């Protein structure tokens, strides 16, 4: 029963986060927030796995470092897009 809580709850959260990421394609900010939610759930799953296997948590600290860098890069792209286009809609952003 406890294993279902350890693995079932994070997997359900991960599936819900993926659904949220796929369904929110209108604003860049909502996509960045759902990506951060996915990263947090992956960190939670990795933390549970590393603790159950009695491994060190050094890799989880590296994962958090890279996820912070990913969040900062996403926010800088968001600020740059708002400065150039005036909003964060994907319809107003053209590659051409």
Report the pLDDT value the prediction gives residue 93, as an integer from 0 to 100. Answer: 64
Residue 41 has pLDDT above 80, yes or no: yes
CA–CA separation, 60 and 50 (whole Å): 8
Q: Is residue 96 part of a domain?
A: no
Residue 94 has pLDDT above 80, yes or no: no
Across 27-58, b (16+ Cβ under 10 Å) vs e yields: ebeebbbbbbbbbebeeebbbeeeeeeeeeee
| CATH number where 11 lies | 1.10.287.3510
Report the pLDDT value the prediction gives residue 72, as an integer from 0 to 100. Answer: 93
Q: Is residue 95 part of a domain?
A: no
Residue 76 lies in domain: 1-90
Residue (of 59, 52, 37) closest to 7 by Cα position? 52
Report the pLDDT value the prediction gives residue 1, as an integer from 0 to 100. Answer: 65
CA–CA separation, 25 and 8 (whole Å): 27
- Averaged pLDDT for residues 77-92: 81
Domain count across the chain: 1
- Residue 13 — very low, low, confident or very high, per pLDDT cuts 50/70/90? confident
Sign of dihedral through CA atoms 54, 14, 33, 91? positive
- Averaged pLDDT for residues 5-15: 82
């Amino acid at each position: 029963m406890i294993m279902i809580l350890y693995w079932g709850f994070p997997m359900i959260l991960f599936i819900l986060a993926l659904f949220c990421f796929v369904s929110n394609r209108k604003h860049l900010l909502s996509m960045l927030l759902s990506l951060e939610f996915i990263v947090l759930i992956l960190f939670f799953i990795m933390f549970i796995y590393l603790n159950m296997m009695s491994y060190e948590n050094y890799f989880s600290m590296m994962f958090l470092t890279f996820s912070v860098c990913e969040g900062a890069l996403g926010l800088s792209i968001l600020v740059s897009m708002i400065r150039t286009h005036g909003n964060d809609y994907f319809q107003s952003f053209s590659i051409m």
